[in-house]
Amino acid sequence: MNPLKSLSESGQSPWYDMISRDMLRSGELARLVEEDGLKGVTSNPSIFEKAMTKGSAYDSALREALAAGVRDPKELFERLAVPDIREAADVLRPVFDASQGADGFVSLEVSPTLAYDAAGTAAEAKRLFAEVGRPNVMIKIPATKEGLDAIAETVAAGIPVNVTLIFSLERYMSVMNAYLAGLERRAAAGEPLPQVASVASFFISRIDSAVDALLPPDSPLRGQAAIANAKTAYKLFRQVFGGERFAALAAKGGRLQRPLWASTSTKNPDYRDVVYVETLIGPDTVNTIPPATWDAFRDHGAVARTVDAALEDARRTLEELARRGVDLSAVTDKLEADGVKSFADAFAGLLGHLAKKAEAMLAVPPADAVAARIWARDAALWKDAPEHRAIIGNSLGWLDLPASMPERLGAVEAFAEEVRAAGFEHVVVLGMGGSSLACEVLRTVGDPAAGPPRLHVLDSTEPSAVKACEQAAPPDRTLYIVSSKSGSTVEPARLMDYFYARAAERGDAGSRFCAVTDPGSPLAALAKEKGFRKVFLNPPDVGGRFSALSLFGLVPAALCGWDARALLKRAAAMAEACRTDGPENPGLALGRALAEHARAGRDKLVVLSEPRLDSFGLWLEQLIAESVGKEGKGVVPVAAEPVREGGRYADDKLFILVSRTGDVGPAAAQAGAFEAAGRPLLRFELDSPEALGAEFFRWEFATAVLGRELGVDPFDQPDVQAAKEMTQAALAELKEKGALTLPAPAAEDESWSVGFSPAAAEAAAGAASPEEALGRFLALARPGDYGAVLAYLPSDGRHADQLAALRRAIAEPAGMSVQGGYGPRYLHSTGQLHKGGPATGLFLVLARDSGPDADIPGAGLSFGQLCGAQALGDFRALCGAGRRAAYIRLKGDPDSALLRLAASAAAAARSTV
């Protein structure tokens, strides 16, 4: 059982010592409640400072406050913090109701500048409680001497109170008495008591840090003071709340003021990382646990009643410290003063940060300050129409990922350890587009010796590819990651159906699956229903093709041995470099260079790389094609283009070389030859695998800039839906008629047949053979055109040589660039460009006439039927977009058919030059 959930069985409530908008927005808080039994949340000025001063999660709310005329930094802080507290309280309301008001609280602290002002603290507590407007909010009041009167007054007013910064036993006694006095005043006024819950936050690890510094390095008392102090405090709690004074209040509904163990992270690396949780477990207690300690306790915490064990040892420890000259009262007095100052300093720093950020926001960037406007989330940089503003406003979360994702890595790394400990040998990502292509980069660039588990990526519905994956990664030794932002993408859903059924044959299928998806998606609900081992909820304001540095990329990365923190560190450095508007901004400079070349007619971006980095080119294809290929505009990315045997290259190309330091293979040699010939070429060198983090961010930023330069919204994909609708129509047709209605062939023989879209049919009419028909189709090419070979074949490389030969045959005579794409993968990649970009493409859709198949459990169709419907659906979508397209059916052995097709294409292409 999850050790965090087991704490409740011992009478202790685990609260979480962290709150941020990212936690709320991503659904992480709800997940912790569901999976770990979280029962409360605490905040303080330091926590809000960390949350609000990094990234830009609060920027839109800050802008709204400024637009409303708010300028005072303290009021700005409340405009940001109070909605977080409300939202967290709403997430925890079911816990509050189920516990009848004992748990489910969120704590909000009064301004630390009021720590020595009793009247001011009490007034502030009442105002904040009313402002939040939730019954399950606790107002935090520091346990200074002045704070004691404020505690009594606030309790008497019926407000739940979290008394914070308690270090000494003497002050703890005063806190308990102040609480009881407040209840007595309330009872005397005839007011109900049950609504008033309270905790007394007793700080732990800071005491050890302070006392250890006074002891010799070899002292056996090191690391003992804090626990002894806390156990003695618990003994006092039992005495006070077991006495007659509280009994009279309890009879009227008064609640215990539970001890809350705070500051429970381990500061000294020589101590066990969960020592301040494991040693203080017992009835009627709370432990507010920081994120890293939370993850550690979930992973290896031991649960037993310990808080009132060895009390005599605790007494002797405190006595021995006194004999050795440690004045614990002096230590705790200083810790209290330091704690108040620390919170006040953090609050002042936060207000200063907000004032500075507000000043920057009010100083609107000039129209040509592109980088500043990107970071300012200025949707009008791209499009000003309301429908675009809505899309763009919910698509810029990728800017925050290098800063926000490190705090999510604790759970990711713990899961990776769990998967390895469970003995999984393989991890298979079931996803499409943005959910799979970054994973494919990580798979091919990563260290093959880092496993197990070994990473596989399946983004195909082609039956042979599905079967090959099942053979390479046997279900009884495999963890499946179902990755889908929307949670409703058809391909991962059907792949999940297939492999879930296979896993169910071996029992406990849910434990072999995890999901990465957006909060509230159908997949999130389904994963819960099926008992998936883990569900990771990604920030919803991150689009699929911009998600490489989100959980969609980081979870598979961590599972297959990548140093995810190093990836994010390199990405963070690049993000920082992309903040200025000068020529030194690498993302801005790249985006403008791509646009400048495109305007000069070099709108084909040819990616050169060694085989191990070819996958990075595939990721770039999706990022660029889907982002800017719309409104008849676009840049045409071409990845893994076959090396041409002395062939021509048209002048419409910009070349880029993506290489590892020291690469001297064919791609590097080809790049050198292009430079020597005066062809435009940009170089990007990775000095380590982790440098991918920087390149992911650089190209994402550059793509946003490129969209601006081309005048398109880089965050929508208006033409992707057409192929989906055509596929659904084809499947309905299949269900009704029992077969798909394929395009009428213009010509055919025993190896292949070819039919054409209306935009190409007239040119091929009357052809005597498929070779002649193909020749006439290729003769439609004009200067500046590109080709695309779109093969609904296994994407595992078995036909790679034959497809490369076909691409080369089409490309060489006229120097035309030819994309290669496997269906249905390319539908989620270059498909948007094909339908929405410039009408300069010639498209060859290749589908098998027959072959191996596999049924999809519960779907009423097979993968072969689904794949065939997707090929037909995309061809119909290309027809609807007025594109020049050929639908080619390969008969019999695909390799033989492809070789004949390549020979025919070569002959036809040569005849047209």
Supply the residues annotated as catalytic.
140
User: Whose CA is closest to 803, among 120, 795, 316, 204?
Assistant: 795
Is-contact 233 240, C-beta < 8 A? no
**CB-CB neighbours of 189 under 10 Å:** 9
Is-contact 44 319, C-beta < 8 A? no
248 SS3 class: helix
Strands 786-792 and 817-822: parallel
CB-based contacts of 341, cutoff 8 Å, min separation 6:
none
How far is residue 470 from each of residues 248, 431, 795, 800, measured CA to CA in Å?
68, 15, 14, 20
Sign of CA dihedral 613, 617, 618, 624: positive
67 SS3 class: helix
Whole-angstrom distance, CA of residue 846 vs CA of residue 874: 11
Q: Specify the amino acid at residue 869.
A: A
Half-sphere exposure of 265 (CA within 13 A, CB side): 10
**CB-CB neighbours of 675 under 10 Å:** 14
Is-contact 754 773, C-beta < 8 A? yes
> In terms of DSSP H, where are the helices of 613-766?
614-628, 666-676, 692-710, 720-737, 758-764
CB-based contacts of 451, cutoff 8 Å, min separation 6:
425, 560, 561
> In terms of DSSP H, where are the helices of 135-224?
145-156, 169-188, 205-212
426 CA to centre of own chain: 22
> In terms of DSSP H, where are the helices of 517-643?
522-530, 551-559, 564-577, 586-599, 614-628
**CB-CB neighbours of 223 under 10 Å:** 20
618 CA to centre of own chain: 21
Whole-angstrom distance, CA of residue 854 vs CA of residue 861: 9
Strands 285-289 and 426-430: unpaired
**CB-CB neighbours of 813 under 10 Å:** 20
* Helix or strand run (H / E) with residue 515: strand 513-517
Is-contact 781 816, C-beta < 8 A? yes
755 SS3 class: strand
- Phi/psi region, residue 375 (left: phi>0; alpha: psi -120 to 50; beta: rest), is alpha
Strands 841-848 and 884-890: parallel
Strands 161-166 and 198-203: parallel
Strands 752-756 and 884-890: antiparallel
User: Whose CA is closest to 286, among 257, 260, 255?
Assistant: 260
Residue in the structure block whose two tokens are 């630390």: 112
User: Whose CA is closest to 168, among 118, 107, 241, 232?
Assistant: 232
Is-contact 610 725, C-beta < 8 A? no
Whole-angstrom distance, CA of residue 895 vs CA of residue 899: 6
The residues with which 847 forms a beta bridge, in sequence order, are: 792, 889
- Phi/psi region, residue 601 (left: phi>0; alpha: psi -120 to 50; beta: rest), is left
Q: Specify the amino acid at residue 243.
A: G
789 SS3 class: strand
User: Whose CA is closest to 126, among 153, 146, 148, 89?
Assistant: 153
